[in-house]
Structure 1
């Protein structure tokens, strides 16, 4: 599988619905987002581990390099519920206007993962002295169950973190 260009990564992530909500009729799985990220990051040599938090809800921890410390690039894979009637265009389709990209999750948070991949591409031809971890959690917009499950697992992460929120 070839890694798609940046704009296509944005579009594919936005097109994958992943609403989290405490109201069951709005709530959706984030599996398509996690699977797509894992495929792309795996293609780039990251070791990808998924954690099922609840039925249909997953965290992704992708790592490259080993050892203590390292850097975590973290965000969430879910979005808020939406009313498509209130949007000027389809919220699940990337739209470009006025030199900007629009779509549900383009800023909070799906676009962050597309940008992370773009940022690490030029670094992949050299060994990492400490690990780089990319973390995508579930249900940040509702219950925080993804972050809680990660904390409960007691897995040590990096020395420093950038949270793309």
Structure 2
């Protein structure tokens, strides 16, 4: 089957809703239709396809497409990695159909055009003109699920793969500026449980608010330590940040 033209396949990807939402099941779409579409196109180019259900998700999948001219299908080569899902959209803020690729003033509009369904469209367009039989090392294309929410797809893949590429390109939009590092993210919660007591003799109880005050005080000290002890000019905010919330 011939792969559609660049703009046609781009539009087909944008037209498939793949919104991720952990709080509202009605707004959380399975990415299976998009994964199967990608799998068909990469298979037409001669890639071997592995579609993996992602545990503890609402019918989400990863896809790994592999092309290798040898028995080696896991070592070396290039991995092109991206996510298949998008954030939700606010109808009141959109002036165009988010599920239709619209070209205007030499720009393309649609939900996920940049972040990051367009990446897969560009990969397919580039591979179309490459003689893959001349490759000396494998090339892999990874499409993951739920990047915009829980990172479930990428996490599941990382824990279960034996893939060891020489290098990886993650096709997130960077305004065409090469980015070689990215900050990570850790989220934790702290719960303080008090002990009831009478206001006339508070020492017999535990005031959870007062304990949490001490916790927050220590966290704010840690926040300053991050700022003073770590520095990387590669980032616009060159130190780890800490944000407190309720």
In the alignment, which residue of structure 2 is the partner of 1:118?
125
Equivalent in the alignment of 1:56 = 59
Following TM superposition, the consecutive aligned residue runs of length 4 or more in structure 1 with deviations greater than 2 angstroms are 124-127
Partners of 1:90 and 1:102 in 2: CA distance = 9
Q: Which has the higher contact order (CA 8 A, sep 6+)?
A: 1
User: 1:158 offset after TM fit, Å?
Assistant: 1.1
Q: Which moved more, 1:92-101 or 1:117-126?
A: 117-126
Q: Does 1:159 align with 2:162?
A: no
C-alpha change, 1:125 and 1:72, in structure 2 (3 Å) is closer
Q: Residue 34 of structure 1 aligns with which residue?
A: 35
Counterpart secondary structure, 1:14: helix
Q: Which stretch has the larger CA shift, 154-163 or 57-66?
A: 154-163
Please tell me whether the aligned partners of residues 28 and 58 of structure 2 are also in contact (alpha carbons under 8 angstroms).
no
Q: Residue 86 of structure 2 contacts residue 115 of structure 2 at CA under 8 Å; is this kept in 1?
A: yes
Partner of 1:25, secondary structure, is helix
In 1, distance between residues paired with 2:124 and 2:90?
A: 30
Distance, in Å, in 2 between the alignment partners of 1:79 and 1:29 is 11
In 2, distance between residues paired with 1:111 and 1:7? 10
Scaled by the length of structure 2, what TM-score is found?
0.65
Runs of 5+ in structure 1 lacking a partner? none
Structure 1 residue 86, shift from structure 2 partner: 1.5
CA distance in 2, matches of 1:22, 1:90: 24
Q: Is the 8 A contact 2:65 2:141 kept in 1?
A: yes
Report how far residue 105 of structure 1 moved.
0.4
1:15-69 C-alpha deviation (Å, 9 max, x unpaired): 0000011112311101111010000000010001101004410000001014320
- Superposition deviation, residue 130 in structure 1: 0.6
Larger radius of gyration: 2
Superposition TM-score, scaled by structure 1 size: 0.95
Q: RMSD value over aligned CA atoms?
A: 1.2
- Of Structure 1 and Structure 2, the greater strand share is in 1
Q: Does 1:43 pair with 2:59?
A: no
